[in-house]
Amino acid sequence: MTARRRLDSGPEGLPILGEVPLVTARGLAKSYGTARGARRVLAGADLDVEAGEMVAVLGRSGSGKSTLLHVLAGLDRLEAGRIEVGGVRVDRLREPALTRFRLTGVGLVFQFFHLLPELSGEENVLAPAKMRGATPGAAGRGRELIVRLGLREVAGSLPHLLSGGEQQRFAIARALVNDPPLVLADEPTGNLDAASGTAVLGLLGELTHAGKAVVLITHEREAAQRADRVLELADGRLR
Amino acid sequence: MSAALRRLRARGARSALAATGVLAAGAMLGTAVTVAYGLGTGFDRATQRADAPDLIASFDERSRADVARRVRALPNVESVSYRFEVKDVPIAAGGEVIRSGAVEVVRSGRRGYALLEGRDIAGAPREIVVERGVARELDLGVGDRLDVGRLGAHRVVGISLAPDNVAYPLADAARIYLSSAALARRFGSEPSEANRMLLWVRDSRRLDSTLVQARAVSFGVSDLRFLTRAGVRVLRDEAAGIVIALLVAFSLIATLAAGVMLGALGRADVERRLPAIGVLRAVGLSRAGVAARFALDAVLIALPAAALGIAAGALLARGPTASLLGSINELAPGAALLGPLGGALVALVAIACGASAWPAWRASRRPPVELLRGAELRGAGGRLAARLPAGMGWLGLRMLAGRPLRTAAATAVLTIAAAIVLLLLALASQLTELRDDPGSIGKRYDLAADLGPERAGDVRALAGVDAASVRYSVAAADAFDLGETLRVVAYPGDHTRFEASPLTDGRRVRADGEAEIGAGLADALGVPLGATLAIALESGGEARFRVVGIVAALEDQGRIAYVRPPRVLAADPGAPPEVAVDLARGADRAGVIAALRELGAGPPMSVGGAASDQPGFVSVLAGVLRTVALVNGLVALYALVQVLALTALERRSALALLRAVGGGRGELVRVFGGAAAIRTAAAVPAGALLSALVLGPAVGSLAADYAPLAPRPSAGQVVFVACGSAVMAALAVAIVARRSARAPVAAGLRGVE
């Protein structure tokens, strides 16, 4: 119940910058495959991210960057280790609480945007606002974000009619619609041209000024330079 | 081929799942083919094996020499056999007694029955052949002993089948065959009379003219009835028509469901393997090559699974089908069934092959780079989808809009299923009504008492009696065509107060010389409105009426005439009267019956429906229909679950995304609920219309073309099916949403299972 109250409280309930890390992960372990084919992608990784901080995670392809993001977001289960976000043990949450965590505790941005093709850009942004347990005023916030991100002209368009940059901005707006304290971005510029990529990174950077913690998964050194800290994932550990 | 086998082994679980789907579809198809083919061809097989006669004549017993003399005058006769049949002979074996034994004394010549076991009667004393239904009822085998009335113990030497009638106990009489020569050896003489004649013609196309002449040379022969092989077939078709029509409908649903299921599986497989298709295209494989690979994979899975499923379905249905065929004296198809089953196998494998190759062919049209990424991003649904409101339920609808063909196919399956379920329920209700409700055949009275016309006034005065009238009901034959029998019903006044079959043409009887006749009689005799109906009564007297109305009467297969009594009584003064009694609402039935007995009536007869003489059979049939309706509903549920599961599989990335951004099982239920609701909401009213306007009339005309028998679903039944469909849809949604909510989110986002 404590965990739920803290997550429900929105940005106001966040720890003060620099006081306690928003995200604390210790000894994360995760493997794929079985028996001789098993491959350990996380082998005791540790991570702390403070509110208002952007942390970039670099690594080779297949090093486990996306897996790290998935376990932080509660999309995948750990084999070992612990994850706390805002004081909540995410690794111990059962599915209903995990669903609530994903709705209001974390915002996700993907390389391939992952917009629902049946919904317009605006409807994609507002979809989490209409889910049970959404934060109050989420829909209004979503519309504001669309305007702020310069998407008003194309808000009614279906995703396949949008450019990559526009799609990714809609995806960012969707990630922020419930005002989560943590944003996890998985190669957000990987599918964009240079100009769009720069704009998207600028947007993510602005989030930190609003007190949000951002974890940026990337393999691009240039993108990583925007972060407050850069970590490298190798042999299942973060350095 | 070996590469294809390796591919299948590598996808072990999925290959097994696909094989299970094909196996289930095969089982459904195998069952439907076995039953439908068995029933559809059983009569022909039986008549061929039994060397069934083209014409059977039965008549009051008379000298065989006289009958032979009349037959000699007929043209086109190839051979003839005479029988002497003795009815109501008690037969007994193992402590069981059947009182309605019919002993047929057989002379030399063609038999008209097939021997299924043992041998034929050969002239030795105390040997007997029994019909299969009798053998089954008395648990008799070849070599067993059977006591035949006063003739004593006989040994069963053969078990036979004659397709001119249904088997005992569906038939009234339990037929057994004795040799005429054996009787002669035992008693010194054989019967010189005959009361049945079996006739084979040289040219069956000229049977009609032989029949006309047979009627002409039958002058003076009483209680004459002709039954042609075609006539037997018509009677069988009327009885089996409904069953066959329902089975065809059921197999149609099964095939459609199988098609949707296989299509769903094939499509799902292609969806899963889009990146692999991208790789194949990227390394230079043509679209045809891609489709061929999928087709080969599908054949390798479908062929053994379909063969196994069809064989299992056929084996499951074989026993009940043989039993059903046995009860109507027909033969199971045996090895002849292999052809249709082989056809079903080819069809099923072709469907599975097409269901896999076609989406692969279509998918391979996309640019390889798009396929390599998983290729989900599409403007699905177009403008129509874009106009729908936002929200999770509508999202389900939008997802469907992107798959219009599949949505149409699934809705068609549900529509047909709803229509068939409604038809079955309506048919079951109608059967029950026909059994119990005299009103269903136009009768508006409750009791018939064997009292003379002079007591009608006394009956009317009884407490609890609303109306009473004297009524005559006599058997008659067409005076010009003695083979055409009918029932004549006479009331002194307005008969519609007591019996009112719907008038389809002309008007009601107003005068003594007028008649309303059933459509069945009008068709049989070719008597139009205004023509003269001349009838010969059992007394030998003749009466003539002018036909003023045609009614849709169900009783006596529509071979009925309603008239006023004077001309009937003039032709047959001994016609037995009775008093038809209509009870007042809420009357004490038992009290009225007691009062009627006090007036001198025997036990009054309760008036039932058209099928009141077979109440048990009707109950069983109604129960079977309701059970099939339930099975049908379950098939529809299965199809709906499959289609929703396919949507879940195809859109696993979208669903995973919904969950990644905070959607729980509730959101999934709303998405799938929207997808299921539109199909179900469309299917129920469409099914009701299909049932009432198309299937009902079609089945009704199969059952009886002389009366309005078309089963129409009631409003209550439509509401029941609508509620059932809603429950079914909710169940399907719950199953699929539960399954989807358990799938790993991260894997769904990667587009893998």
Q: What is the mean pLDDT of residues B651-665?
A: 87
Beta pairing, strands A229-234 & A213-217 = unpaired
Is B658 within 8 Å of A102 when comparing Cβ atoms?
Answer: no
How large is the average pLDDT for residues B338-346? 93
Give helix then strand counts, H and E, for chain B. Answer: 24, 20
A196 in contact with B at a CB cutoff of 8 Å? no
- Per the document, the length of chain A is 239
Residue B227 β-bridge partners: B56
In a mutational test of the A interface, the residue from B274, B366, B377 whose CB has the highest number of chain A CBs within 10 Å is: B377
Q: Which residues of A touch B746 (CB under 8 A)?
A: 67, 70, 75-76
Pairing of strands B514-518, B560-563: antiparallel
Average pLDDT on B330-357 reads 89
Residue A46 within a domain: no
User: Which chain A residues are Cβ-neighbours of B385 within 8 angstroms?
Assistant: 118
> What pLDDT shows up at residue B567?
92
Torsion, Cα B182 B185 B187 B190, to 10 degrees, reads: 60
Count other Cβ atoms within 10 Å, centred on residue B471: 23
With vertex at residue B280, the alpha carbon angle to CA B277 and CA B283, rounded to the nearest 5 degrees, is 150
- Model confidence at A172: pLDDT above 70: yes
Reading phi first (left if > 0) and then psi (alpha if -120 to 50, else beta), residue B561 is in beta
A28 near A215, Cβ under 8 Å? no
Angle between helices B12-50 and B229-272 (to 10 degrees): 170
Q: Is residue A3 part of a domain?
A: no
Using the Cβ of A147 and the Cβ atoms of chain B, whether some distance falls under 8 Å is answered with no
In-domain check, residue A88? no
Q: Which residue of B has its CA nearest to A175?
A: B661
Cβ of A118 within 8 Å of Cβ of B385? The answer is yes
Residue B170 pLDDT exceeds 90: no
User: How far is the C-alpha of A107 from the C-alpha of A214, rounded, in Å?
Assistant: 9
Q: Considering only CA atoms, which of B481, B439, B425 is closest in space to residue B219?
A: B481
Of B379, B398, B660, the CB nearest to A160: B379
Question: Between the CA of residue A57 and those of A18, A41, A221, B37, B443, what are the distances in Å?
Answer: 20, 14, 10, 69, 89
* Partners of residue B663 in chain A, C-beta under 8 Å: 99, 103, 128, 131
Per the domain annotation, does A157 fall within a domain? Answer: yes
Round to whole Å and give the CA distance between A214 and A221: 17
Query: For residue A17, is it within any domain?
Result: no
What is the pTM for the complete model shown? Answer: 0.60
CB B737 within 8 A of CB B665: yes
Instruction: Establish if A15 belongs to a structural domain.
Output: no
Among A39-53, A186-200, B365-379, B479-493, which stretch is predicted with the lowest mean pLDDT? B365-379
Residue from A67, A108, A116, A135 whose CB has the most chain B CBs within 10 Å, to mutate: A116
Given pLDDT bands bounded at 50, 70 and 90, which one contains residue B752? Answer: very low
Interval A174-178 mean pLDDT: 91
pLDDT at A197: 82
pLDDT attached to residue A6 = 39
Residue of B nearest to A116 (CA): B654
Closest of A67, A112, A174, A121 to residue B376, by C-alpha:
A112
Q: How far is CA A109 from CA A214, B59, B76, in A?
A: 10, 93, 91
Q: Tens digits of per-residue pLDDT, B375-410?
A: 554 445 556 666 777 777 788 888 777 777 777 877
DSSP, collapsed to helix, strand or coil, labels residue B377 as coil
B448 has a chain A CB within 8 A of its CB: no
A131 and B741: CB-CB below 8 Å?
no
Cβ separation A102–B376 shorter than 8 A: no
Q: Which residues pair with B153 in a beta bridge?
A: B147
What is the tens place of the pLDDT at every residue in B695-725?
778 776 655 554 556 678 889 989 998 998 8
Find the CATH number of the domain harbouring A137.
3.40.50.300
Give the pLDDT score at B156.
94
Smallest CA–CA separation between A164 and chain B, in Å? 12
Burial of A211 (C-beta count, 10 Å sphere; 0-12/13-18/19+):
middle
- Classify strands B127-131 and B152-161 as parallel, antiparallel or unpaired: parallel
pLDDT above 50: residue A13: no
Q: What is the pLDDT of residue A4?
A: 33
What span, in angstroms and rounded, lies between the C-alpha atoms of B366 and B376? 11
Cα–Cα distance for residue pair B694/B716, rounded to 1 Å: 20
> Is A8 a residue whose pLDDT tops 50?
no
| 3-state secondary structure at position B103 | strand
Which residue of B390, B659, B664 is in closest CB contact with A123? B390
- Say how far apart CA B476 and CA A221 lie, in whole Å: 106
With CA atoms as reference, the chain A residue closest to B745 would be A75
- According to the model, what pLDDT value does residue A16 have? 39
pLDDT score at B246: 63
Percent of chain A surpassing pLDDT 90:
42
Q: Does residue A21 sit within a domain?
A: no
| Cβ-count burial B717-735 (b if 16+ within 10 Å, e if not) | bbeebbebbeebbeebbeb
Instruction: Using the predicted structure, report yes or no on whether residue A12 has a pLDDT greater than 60.
Output: no
Contact A118 B746 (CB under 8 A): no
Q: Inspect the interface and report whether the beta carbons of B667 and A132 lie closer than 8 Å.
A: yes
Q: To the nearest whole angstrom, how far is the Cα of A198 from the nearest Cα of chain B?
A: 24
At B346, the pLDDT band (50, 70, 90 cuts) reads very high
d(CA A125, CA A143): 8
Residue A142 lies in a domain: yes
Structure tokens, B79: 């051979």
User: Which is more confidently placed, B123 or A214?
Assistant: A214
Instruction: State the average pLDDT over residues B299-311.
Output: 90
Is the predicted ipTM greater than 0.95, yes or no? no
- Residue B381 contacts A, CB cutoff 8 Å: yes
Residue B121 CB-density burial (10 A; 0-12 exposed, 13-18 middle, 19+ buried) = buried
Tokens 């055949």, residue? B441
A100 part of contact set with chain B, CB < 8 Å: yes
Name residues 654-673 of chain B within 8 A of A (Cβ).
654, 657-667
Inspect the interface and report whether the beta carbons of A160 and B378 lie closer than 8 Å. yes
Q: Number of structural domains, chain A?
A: 1
Q: Domain residues for A188?
A: 52-74+94-234
- A217 close contact with B: CB closer than 8 A: no
Instruction: Name every chain A residue with its beta carbon within 8 A of the beta carbon of B401.
Output: 118
